[in-house]
Amino acid sequence: ASGMLSVGEKAGHSQVQLWRDWPQTHPVELKPLQMVEASGQPIAINTDITVPDVSIPVYDNHGVTATDQVGLILPTSLCSGQIARMCAELLNKNSLLANSGLSRFVTLVHTEGCGGSITDEFRSTLLGYLGHPFARHTLLLEHGCESTHNDFFRQAMIARGYDPADFGWASIQLDGGIQTVIHKMVDWFSEQIEDDPVPRKTEAGLEAVRLALITRDTPPEASATAFADLTRMIVAAGGTVVINEQDPLLKTVFAQQIALPSGTHPSLSYAQTIKQPGFHLMAMPTRDWGEMLTGLGASGVEVILGYSEGQPMPGHPMIPMLQASSRNNDEDITLTDDALANTENLLDLLVETLAQRYVPKVVQSGNVYFQVTRGLLGVSL
């Protein structure tokens, strides 16, 4: 307006936001649309299967295991997302990573923060990532004028049982602008790494696996059978598998082979943190790929196994995602008509990925998608 570029314009920052209005022309029952916390109790499935003996390197942090450790910058709104990204990129080029025990620094850039009908889902999603097993050191970054500011999350943390003192806090406006707040964030991570010893590494079996399944297309019988056998092995060993309630895999022999009763209700609400290992069904209001990935990731899973028959789908910015297909060779693994071979190959690839000896193709490409759900009535673009 003054004829000169603002700091944000010089940096190339911009945003497009749609305002969605819902005129109430007649009485509407809103209760079915409200987010309800599910029981969190795992669903009993058929685990009558031999559990293979595998060895997966894990970090042991006071009895809590994880296959990776990252430094996480969590923007509390859309408006702080790009500054969080800039800082993560800077930290990944910094010598801090050496001997830190962290594989990388990550940020989860999203499009929320100014309020709306999905505040509960948004809060649950970000709290899920704050408590994710991967997140060794986590800092929250607010812009300063959003409705979901730092104090909003302090109160949400306390209600969830988290200690706000365990996290870093920064504000673009309160701390004096972009460069100042980036310096503050770098200094905070430096102090955390210096004061916090690297957790010891040990070996674990399938009981340490926290897997999410996600399919875009309906897999053929041999592929669905392999997914079922893999699920049964992990759950029988004491590990965790989660799938969303709308997944096409549930309409195949997968459901019969794991003995999932018809009409089973979700054990997890969208983005609800998994407290007990086992098989879980997550509530999912949409079929948007990014919204599904984001909700599943917030539950605490450490690897995602996807299936599509078309082009490869985007992955998750923090959690490795393997992709399988029975029709093309662009994925991490091509499945065949041999269900037993499929199971063995999927298991081997899963273990190699968790051991960080294999990097999924979508991770190499950097094609990722993070989107908090728009809910039952929202619009996803």
CATH topology assigned to domain 202-365:
Rossmann fold (3.40.50)
Domain limits of the chain?
70-198, 202-365
pLDDT attached to residue 258: 99
pLDDT attached to residue 63: 82
Does pLDDT of 24 surpass 60?
Answer: yes
What is the DSSP pairing of strand 135-142 with strand 104-107?
unpaired
Contact 56, 292 (CB under 8 A): no
pLDDT attached to residue 96: 83
pLDDT attached to residue 106: 98
Q: Report the percent of the chain where pLDDT is more than 70.
A: 94
Q: Do domains 70-198 and 202-365 have the same CATH topology?
A: yes
The average confidence (pLDDT) of the chain is: 92
pLDDT attached to residue 12: 80
Mean pLDDT lowest for which of 9-23, 211-225, 273-287?
A: 9-23
More confident residue, 78 or 29: 78
Does pLDDT of 380 surpass 60?
Answer: no
Tokens of 373: 């759900």
Nearest Cα to Cα of residue 271 among 289, 244, 247, 249: 244
Tokens of 33: 């649309």
The CATH classification of domain 70-198, taken from the options 3.30.70.260, 3.40.190.10, 3.40.50.2300, 3.40.50.12780: 3.40.50.2300
